[in-house]
Structures are given as structure tokens and as C-alpha cells.
Amino acid sequence: MKRLENKWALVTGSSRGIGQQIAWGLAERGCNIIVHGRDVKNLDATLAKLKTFGVQTHVATGELSTDAGVKQVIEQAMAAPGPVDILYNNAAVQTKYQSIFAVDQAEWDRVFQINVWALIKLCQAFAPGMRERGYGRIINLTSGIADQPSLAAYSVSKAAVDKFSRDLAAEFKGTNVLVNYLDPGWLQTDLGGPNAPGQVESVLPGALVPALLEKDGPTGRFYGAQDFKELER
């Protein structure tokens, strides 16, 4: 698969789970990584393995649940040795199972703040620079969740991610800033739960496909990580 030397990627929520796997997969292809977590102490395992790939690393910490936290993440990521060329908006929160009629506004606000508003602000912060440099890959993680009214706040937030990704792709059409959205599959993570059918490692190599697209590649499209299991790591 394509190499990514001299590129920098910001992967939100890369202290564990899917984000951690994506960070490791990118580094395996030579990409420098900006790791993100709520607290620096949560990033030890991710950083330790990244060292084995010989890439540069940088840390951005902050809570995506607050505007101040999102601003902190952006400022710290912008202080990295290189600009963000690849943005993986991976961090997200789930909602508890409850009747669709019982979800109050506070819960809608909580889920949308992290899953949608933070994602949009990160795109707004880094996409213009990508256009100026003539290169960018934005991958927004979505979900294949369907027909689960008891998880409505989560599923609706992901539908918003899909639509925003398509609109952002249209904004950058013809600029070599490609914006796509990725379903990692139902995996055994803190969000997916222990009963999910897939191991978290199965997100690779499929999750890297939209980051490895050539110039004028597909944009504004859906990718399923589990559709690329046969690709070589």
C-alpha cells in the first residue's frame, strides 16, 4: 500500500480502540502522528508502539465535550512540527439504550457536541490549510447503525456526519482535499461493547483506504472498513 512519509495525521480519540489502530496503521506507512486523548497519561500505550515505527509524534490533549477543549486540541495540533495533512475524526460517544421518547435535550446536546460540533470545528480549522497546500485527506467516522430507535441520538448524529462530509467534499471538489466517511464496523471497543462480532484489529487495513487515495480520487463517499479485509497490510 502507498507510503505516507513526511505527512502528518491527527487522529482524534487515539488513546485506545479504533483510533489507536488507525494511528498505528498510518505510522506503519511512514506517517507522522498527532495523537489525541483527554489526558496525556492515557496515551502511553499508543506512543510506545508508535516509537517502533520510527515516525515523529506530537500530542494534543483536550475534552471534545466543551468548546474550550476543542480549541485546546486545535491549538496543540497546530503546534506540531508539520501541518495536518490527514484528519481522522474518530472520537465519538454512544448514548445509553432508552426509549426514543425519553431522550432529553441534554443528552442530544452531549452527543452532538462530541460527534458533530467538535468534528465540524476540527474540519473548519484544518481543511483551509489543506486547500492552500494542495493536499488533504479528511476521514470522518460514521456508523452503519440502522433501525435502532433506542440509540436515536447516536444514529442521528452519525447521519449528520454523513451529510456534512458530503457537503464539505463538494466545497473542496477539484482541490485534492478529499473528504470521505468511514464505517469501521461493529467492533469490540468501549463504544461497541463486548458482544460486537468483530475484533478491533479488523478495522485495518480498510480504515486506511480513504487516507491513501491518489489525487482526484473519490470524495464525498462512504467507505466500509470491513469491505477491504483482503487487502495486504
The CATH number of residue 212's host domain is 3.40.50.720
- Catalytic residue of the set 88, 154, 181, 223: 154
Its sign, for the CA torsion 38, 41, 42, 45, is positive
* Domain membership flag for residue 2: no
What is the predicted pLDDT for the residue at 1?
Answer: 58
The x, y and z cell numbers of residue 84, run together, are: 495536518
| pTM of this structure | 0.94
Per the structure, the count of domains in the chain is: 1
**Spatial separation of the C-alpha atoms in residues 27 and 105, rounded to whole Å:** 40
Residue 97 bears catalytic tag: no
| pLDDT value at residue 93 | 96
Domain membership flag for residue 3: no
Dihedral in degrees, nearest 10, Cα atoms 198, 192, 17, 152? 130
Three cell numbers at 111?
A: 452527543
- Domain span including residue 173: 8-228
Instruction: Return the pLDDT at 193.
Output: 63
Please report whether residue 148 resides in a domain. yes
Domain assignment of residue 19, yes or no: yes
130 assigned to some structural domain: yes
Q: Please report, rounded to a whole number, the percentage of residues in the chain having pLDDT higher than 90.
A: 85
Q: Is residue 1 part of a domain?
A: no
